[in-house]
């Protein structure tokens, strides 16, 4: 199977680990079989950052109520980055019908077929940043102009998140540009996973990203900004000499105002992003 599959007993001790699980997580069967979910090898978290291996584990829930459970969670790859996965869990029963464990099947939820198709179209139109595989500045400028026009015509609310990769220059200087490129790719990946399918995320330039988020109020805007900060902060990569590099971003978020130009909107987001950096980095500041 291309999906990851593993079995646990009633103590949540892993008894079986298939090749799909090894491919998705980087951990071979010999590294995990015999360990317990409580050991938190995969560090499962939900979109709010809750550590599921200790609180809210779908495997535990399935063994307690005897039902099938499904959830969207983030696991940590052996190399440190986060992967969004769709998890499906059901209990395993013995001959007498008693629950003796559970099976979890998980699959990579990073891209859907329609998103892959859209990426190929955008590549042909030169709208893709080749390093991060996100939309580039040209596409973002067009999308921002369209969002402003639609907001004026239809009264639809939208906001901007301006996101800066903290300490990017230090990563380049200390570990080299290839490591800096890898770090940018991982930040881009985690930001993409943090946002909704209807939002537009792209590389604004250098170490900055821009997200256009639709149908939001101040509360939703703040939650999306915090999620971006949290998921990137829970991600790390390894340098060429196997040293961990912890990643972080600073975010400024604003809601579009009637009659505002793209330049004015971006300037407001930029001020709040720099406020986040001035307050210690690795945080979000929104209206």
The DSSP secondary-structure symbol of 128 reads B
Per-residue CA distances from 245 to 131, 242, 281 (Å): 19, 9, 16
Nearest residue to 251 via CA among 215, 279, 217: 279
Beta-strand relationship, 208-214 and 244-246: unpaired
Is 175 within 8 Å of 233 (Cβ atoms)? no
Beta-strand pair 200-205/208-214: antiparallel
Q: Is 242 left (phi over 0), alpha (psi -120 to 50) or beta?
A: left
Q: Which burial class, exposed, middle or buried, applies to 55 when counting CB atoms under 10 A from its CB (0-12, 13-18, 19+)?
A: exposed
DSSP E strands, 4-64: 4-9, 14-17
Radius of gyration of the chain (CA): 21
Catalytic residue (choose from 166, 207, 241, 270):
207
> Is 173 annotated in the active site?
no
9, with CB counted inside 10 A (0-12, 13-18, 19+), is middle
Contacts of the segment 167-170: beta carbons below 8 A, 24+ positions apart: 167/248, 167/281, 168/206, 168/207, 169/207
* Closest-CA residue to 70 (of 21, 105, 116, 117): 105
- Active site (catalytic) residues: 207
């Amino acid at each position: 199977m291309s999906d990851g599959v593993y079995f646990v007993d009633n103590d949540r001790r892993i008894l079986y680990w298939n090749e799909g699980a090894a491919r998705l997580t980087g951990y071979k069967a010999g590294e995990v079989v015999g360990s317990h979910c409580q050991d938190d090898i995969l560090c499962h978290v939900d979109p709010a950052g809750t550590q599921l291996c200790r609180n809210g584990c779908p495997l535990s829930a399935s063994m307690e109520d005897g039902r099938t459970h499904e959830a969207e969670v983030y696991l940590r790859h052996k190399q440190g980055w986060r992967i969004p996965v769709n998890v499906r869990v059901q209990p395993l029963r013995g001959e007498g019908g008693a629950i003796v464990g559970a099976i979890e099947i998980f699959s990579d939820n990073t891209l859907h077929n329609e998103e892959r198709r859209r990426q190929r179209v955008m590549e042909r139109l030169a709208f893709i940043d080749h390093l991060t595989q996100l939309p580039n500045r040209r596409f973002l400028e067009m999308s921002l102009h369209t969002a402003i026009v639609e907001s004026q015509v239809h009264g639809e609310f939208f906001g901007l998140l301006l996101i800066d990769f903290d300490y990017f220059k230090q990563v380049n200087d200390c570990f080299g540009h290839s490591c800096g490129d890898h770090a940018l790719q991982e930040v881009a990946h985690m930001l993409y996973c943090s946002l909704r399918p209807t939002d537009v995320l792209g590389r604004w330039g250098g170490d900055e990203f821009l997200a256009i988020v639709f149908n939001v109020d101040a509360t939703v805007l703040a939650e999306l900004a915090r999620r971006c900060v949290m998921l990137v902060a829970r991600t790390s990569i390894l340098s060429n000499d196997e040293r961990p590099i912890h990643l972080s971003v600073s975010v400024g978020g604003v809601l579009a105002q009637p009659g505002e130009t793209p330049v004015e909107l971006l300037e407001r987001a930029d001020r709040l992003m720099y406020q986040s950096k001035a307050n210690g980095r690795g945080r979000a500041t929104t209206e």
